[in-house]
Amino acid sequence: MKMERFNNKLTKILVLVLAISSFFTYTSVKAAADVVTVDGVAVPFPNGWTAGTSGKWTTSESPDKSSKFYLLATKNENFDNVIETVLEPWLNDSFKDIDDTGEDNLERNGLGLRTITYEGKRKSDNAEVTITAQFAFVLGVEPVKTVLLVSVSSNDSQHEKILEVFNNQKANKGGTVAKVDPTPTPKPVQTPAPQTGGNKNCGSLNDADIAEILKVHNAARAAVGTPPLKWNCALANFAQNWANKDLWGHSTSSQRENIIPGVYAGENLAADANQGTPLAQMMQGWLEEKPNWDNGSKSCSPGTICGHYTQMVWRQTTDIGCGINRKSSTMGDEWKGQATYLVCNYSPGGNNGNAAW
């Protein structure tokens, strides 16, 4: 199972670190047409974008120059070391007021991935930015190698195209995509009967599914003394529309600020390789982050993820709405059209640097 903010006139930065050995060095990048292969990872840049270089980075820029990818190959199996020696210096050089807003893990197309999302402001023009850093490794391959891909965009209309690049990356061994089973191996789950209680004006989930989502969330909230959530149709419709796009990655901040005008909405994502995975199981990974959160220090334990759990129980959050896609391809080619993709949106959004409860 996998779990895991961008803005209209908000510059977006999507950073992908593909972990695929222990000493930090720079290695070569080979490009063929619009596909760039780095240490066995094939990155499919959009057709028609202009290839170039910027210092040690290989770049790809959109025709309107609003969006740009930066690609850097390194050798380091320690993600924290890559953050300290590569990512943080780059962030601090170009941005200010940087805030870590969440992390996610997943496995797809032979790659193991870890994602970190930040927000901040660009120093050159004071533009607000969202930064997402994703680490990955080629499953079953030694030695581990690390690649860093950064996309910078100031154009919301490019967001889905950018996500497609990250969704379509593949492990590549000798020119062929690696066939590696994920861990753990998915267990058969009985596919549920078609949902019949959905309301086109309030998402597509039936009453039982809505009750289950509220039950799981409100039990977690009661355990820490925060008030129960209520279902919100605007949030549910947005979540369902995003799930239907079948892109693994968050919607933009500007999109979520327009669900309920003027109110920022948070977002949790989860996916599983089985079409029939129960909703409670889809949310279990979020709940399992609880031990990682220290409400006193308002932070996660180093090297852990906790943002999904804290959004679930955030005291100021009052409303929730979710959508589901049970014919998803977000788990990669191995389960194309067979996975389950859950999107939940929350208002007001949490994870803003304060205590969760």
pLDDT in tens, 77-110: 677 788 888 889 988 998 888 877 667 788 888 8
| Statement: residue 157 has pLDDT above 60 | yes
| Statement: residue 3 has pLDDT above 80 | no
Where residue 1 falls among pLDDT bands split at 50, 70, 90? low
pLDDT of residue 173: 59
| DSSP label at residue 39 | T
DSSP 119-182: EEEETTT--EEEEEEEEEEETT-SS--EEEEEEEES-GGGHHHHHHHHHT-EEEETTEE-----
Listed in sequence order, the residues at least 6 apart from 18 whose beta carbon sits closer than 8 Å to its beta carbon are 38, 41, 43, 111, 113, 134, 135, 136, 137, 146, 147, 148, 149, 169
Where residue 13 falls among pLDDT bands split at 50, 70, 90? very low
Q: Which residue has the higher pLDDT, 137 or 49?
A: 49
Q: How far apart are CA 305 and CA 291, in angstroms?
A: 10
pLDDT of residue 311: 97
Mean pLDDT for the chain? 80
Per-residue pLDDT, averaged over 194-222, amounts to: 82
pLDDT of residue 64: 87
Q: How far apart are CA 178 and CA 200, in angstroms?
A: 40
Per-residue pLDDT, averaged over 119-136, amounts to: 79
Q: Which of 295-304, 334-343, 344-353 has the highest mean pLDDT?
A: 344-353
Q: pTM for this one?
A: 0.79
pLDDT of residue 343: 97
pLDDT in tens, 276-303: 999 999 999 999 999 999 999 999 888 7
% of the chain exceeding 70 in pLDDT: 82
| DSSP label at residue 8 | T
pLDDT of residue 234: 97
Angle formed at CA 246 by CA 42 and CA 266, multiple of 5 degrees: 105
| Statement: residue 310 has pLDDT above 90 | yes
pLDDT of residue 185: 35
| Statement: residue 17 has pLDDT above 60 | no
Q: How far apart are CA 57 and CA 220, in angstroms?
A: 44
Where residue 246 falls among pLDDT bands split at 50, 70, 90? very high
